[in-house]
Structure 1
Amino acid sequence: MAPTPPQREKRLVGTSLKMYFDLPSTLRYIDAIAQLSPAAANANIDLFVIPDFVTLLASKDKLHNTSIQLGAQDTYSEDKGAFTGEVSPLTLAQAGVTIVEIGHAERRRLFGETDHDVAKKAAAVVRNGMVPLVCIGEKSRSSIASQAVGIAVSECKPQITAALSQIPDDSEVILAYEPVWAIGAAEPAGADHVVAVTQNLRALVAGRKGRTRILYGGSAGPGTFEKLKEGVDGLFLGRFAHDVGNLEKVIEEMGVS
């Protein structure tokens, strides 16, 4: 009898709205994305959406009868205290958030966040029963393919190591690989590069007891996943998913790939 092939990890796709939408347009978007819940369930895909903080409670209500997971765009590392303007991970959990995005390249570049800051936030997310979605990616880029992969892995490794060092080994984590130079670009990073890098990153976390899924982000859209499926478990979509039709198409593609 032939050996049973290993079961693949359940695929995952989602999007962050960043600060592109205002309140009414965010709620309209959440209404539209809620309609994709049956398609995602039928395709055996976990679907998540990350709106702004102001619309989290209203979004939770709109997603109540769906399988779509609600995410937050950031958090603070402490649950309570005199931290004016920050958002508590405890409050996020109480608001129905299950995934928290941390360490995005924009947070690192615009607000000076370090690997240490991200690690503390990862600990806070896990401590409050949520899943950290840790954004990682290299700033440097080489035109020589073999060098590019090595550079990416060397820059991503300390980002991953820092975050994992502060959370239990059996906790769930999502790694979103986003080459900084590909964010907002006209095209995603080359498939060969992404697959090679993410396969190396998967080897780094292979010994973990907790569930670890790897996504690709950085100008991803329809047609991207098929080229990357040997390296990633799903996609973290940006502006392409602002058109719900594109997100629906990605779900369909991922369901049959």
Structure 2
Amino acid sequence: MLSVTPIPAFGDNYIWLLRQDTNSEICVVDPGDAAPVIELIEREGLTLSTVLITHHHQDHTGGLPELIERYAPRVIGPNNPKIAGIDERVGQGDEFRALGRLFEVHEVPGHTLDHIAFFTAGIPPLLFCGDALFSAGCGRLFEGTPEQMHASLGKLAALPDDTLVFAAHEYTLANLRFALAADPHNPDVAKAMEECQRARELDRPTLPSPLAREKRINPFLRCRDAGVRQAASAHGDTDSESATFATLRSWKDNF
């Protein structure tokens, strides 16, 4: 059985820790800060065998040098030579094994051009998507185009509905506030807001989120929905799904 737990960092980042119940070997995803990872490893006597990197931003890679120096893990990440320390550079369609599980690589440009996501089938399937897909939102377009990001989210939305989405940031409440404006007649959004507010009041993460739920509450996955398009039409072009996405993303940037 593969378990996944969050290691909080920088106030709203999650470094995801994966481990099998039967041994002390672990994998971490996007260690922007080495300190909390090292503290947990030393406290629990764990062995860091693998690090997964989704993209080059410092809050996802900053802990790599110290973790490599201390533990010499296998590091798997995007084909971007600017990220030092990657042993295996992977892209669309590549597969690898970590902790006994087979992972698939999906290229999801938009937030950055080098962004990738890691998917592993199972019960349930797991998706580690960095800053591409958030609960009720998606990443800002720092390098890619709206068309790229829309296509990337469509790729992720095609994964099985029971996939658990492990995004890299606790942005859910802010995203849901936008979703209430962008999808104002959607009862699932209001329900999600209540649930996530309760979770945060108890200092619990709002992640992971099932992909089926994201398809109901995430306006960026609902660009063909009439209610979303009507709400977005006051802010820009909604003549196509891609145009609606671009309008939503611009609206959210200034929300």
TM-score, with length taken from structure 2: 0.31
Name the structure, 1 or 2, with higher relative contact order (CA <8 Å, separation 6+): 1
TM-score, with length taken from structure 1: 0.31
More strand by share: 2
